Amino acid sequence: MSNYSKLDSYLEKNLDENLKELVRYVAQPSVSAQNLGMKECALIVKEMLEKRGFSAEIMATDGAPVVFGERKGKSDKTLLIYNHYDVQPPEPLELWESPPFEPSIRDGKMYGRGVSDDKSHLTARLFAIDSILEQDGELPCNIKFIIEGEEETASAHLHDFIRNNMEKLKADACIWEFGGVDHREVPMQYLGLRGICYVELTVESLSTDVHSGLGGSIFPNAAWRLVWALNTLKGLDERILIPGFYDDVIPPSARDREFMEQLPDVADEYKTRYGVKEFIKGLQGGTDLKVEEVFTPTCTICGLNSGYQGAGSKTVLPARASAKVDFRLVPNQKPEDILKKLRAYLDAQGFSDVEITYHGGEPAARTDPDHPFVKLIVDTSADVYDAPMQIVPLIGGSGPNYPFVHDLNLPVVTMGHGYPDTRAHAPNENIRIDLYLKHARHAARVITEFAK
């Protein structure tokens, strides 16, 4: 490997300046679920790309726009980098120690909604590009950025965008939006993502809320209808009861279990970090827990909403009730198929009054752990991190890697500065600045070596 001391020294010297750019980026709210600040944020992304000599454009979709950027380099090879500029809603606000859209640096960490997921991952990679341009005045290979604004709402329009721009997005390999180290500080190579099917179930049983003394004995109650409908979806044993739900599931292979075995035990860490008293399904830890965590599909209630929720009591019979439900899918389940089966099942169970709103979905997808690009990422990490990078065949989260893997036909790798207490999707989301710098150093090496 080349000597990277000049690049590293640039990155160390210019870190504070680069973080100012990140602060500005995080301070711009961009909550896709609430359509808040999306255009403003896309403009900031375009500016950041243009600052590095990329030709950049804001490209319309049927939802939030995609920012595309491209800069040619010396070699013919093309690296595609995927990021997103949207963030999760910041609620519940009262649990934040500093306001979610006023980035705050404390004890070597930066706090803010979206700082980890995924705004800093873009700025760290741009920072790596800065170091290379400073040294060489040009890029060693072509780099393309695709930065979408709907990742947190299941990337509703990204698949279409990719199918409509296959030539533009043509590349040899892809770096995914995130990555990071585990609780041992070991960098992880996540090679697959679960799919998702996110729905909202709504019942409207009356035209108006009614005094519970009046209607309780004779009127249909939306909250009860919802509870009964939800109850049919999953048993107390956590088995999902929708007929055919498990039909297309590809169970983990022996090789998958081998990879999972090599990963450290997570049971104690989860118990401490999340206050888990007992895992479900009688799981105790070990490989079984690790395999179950990612290789089984889920049916998670993400939210319940009906009637009165304030302090004390209000005697009301609610006209309306809704639940947000998130199905995580494993290879080879398809969200459209699950949606169809859910509708048929609710109808069959007598719950035609339960309306389903589809908030988006995507199938699972995986990259072959033996692809040479995976090896490149693992090898270049050795120079930056104290421990060798470890391969994880599939993780529990979702993302739109399916069209990258199956339409663009690219190996998709992860790298980044996530860490176990990064609190993505939760209050007090944060990044560790030491890991941020390591990610930039790693990215500078990846770009350089990939070009060769």
CA 250 vs CA 6, 48, 256, 394: distances in Å: 47, 42, 12, 12
Smaller CB distance to a second copy: residue 53 or 220?
A: 220
Smaller CB distance to a second copy: residue 300 or 332?
A: 300
- List all residues 6 or more positions away from 145 whose beta carbon is below 8 Å from its beta carbon: 49, 54, 56, 67, 68, 69, 70, 80, 81, 82, 83, 122
User: Of 44-52, 85-93, 133-141, 174-182, which segment contacts a second copy by CB under 8 A?
Assistant: 85-93
How far apart (Å, rounded) are the C-alpha atoms in residues 117 and 418? 8
Q: Does 93 bind a second copy (CB under 8 A)?
A: no
Smallest distance, a second copy to C-beta of residue 119, A: 17
Q: Does 208 bind a second copy (CB under 8 A)?
A: yes
Task: Pick one of 28, 131, 153, 430: the residue that binds a second copy (CB under 8 A).
Answer: 153
User: Of 43-51, 71-79, 176-184, 309-317, which segment contacts a second copy by CB under 8 A?
Assistant: 309-317
Q: Does 348 bind a second copy (CB under 8 A)?
A: no
Query: Would you give the binding string for a second copy spanning residues 163-192, x where CB under 8 A is met?
Result: ------------------------------
Q: Does 210 bind a second copy (CB under 8 A)?
A: yes
Q: Does 201 bind a second copy (CB under 8 A)?
A: no
Residue 316, Cβ density class (10 Å: 0-12 exposed, 13-18 middle, ≥19 buried): middle
Smaller CB distance to a second copy: residue 73 or 179?
A: 179
Question: Using a CB cutoff of 8 Å and minimum separation of 24, what contacts does 331-334 make?
Answer: 331/192, 331/195, 331/249, 331/250, 331/363, 331/364, 331/365, 331/366, 331/394, 332/248, 332/249, 332/250, 332/363, 332/364, 333/195, 333/248, 333/249, 333/297, 333/363, 333/364, 334/195, 334/248, 334/363
User: Of 44-52, 71-79, 317-325, 335-343, which segment contacts a second copy by CB under 8 A?
Assistant: 317-325
Residues 213-272 that bind a second copy (CB under 8 A): 213-221, 223-224, 226-228, 230-231, 234, 236, 270
Residues in binding contact with a second copy, number by CB under 8 A: 93
Q: Does 313 bind a second copy (CB under 8 A)?
A: yes
CA 137 vs CA 53, 85, 425, 437: distances in Å: 11, 27, 38, 21
Smallest distance, a second copy to C-beta of residue 304, A: 4
Q: Does 203 bind a second copy (CB under 8 A)?
A: no
Q: Does 157 bind a second copy (CB under 8 A)?
A: no
Cβ 53 vs Cβ 127: under 8 Å: no
Q: Are strands 316-317 and 210-211 parallel, antiparallel or unpaired?
A: antiparallel
What phi, psi does 230 have (nearest 5°)? Answer: -60, -40
Residues 29-58 that bind a second copy (CB under 8 A): 32-35
Q: Does 398 bind a second copy (CB under 8 A)?
A: yes
Task: Pick one of 280, 344, 348, 387: the residue that binds a second copy (CB under 8 A).
Answer: 280
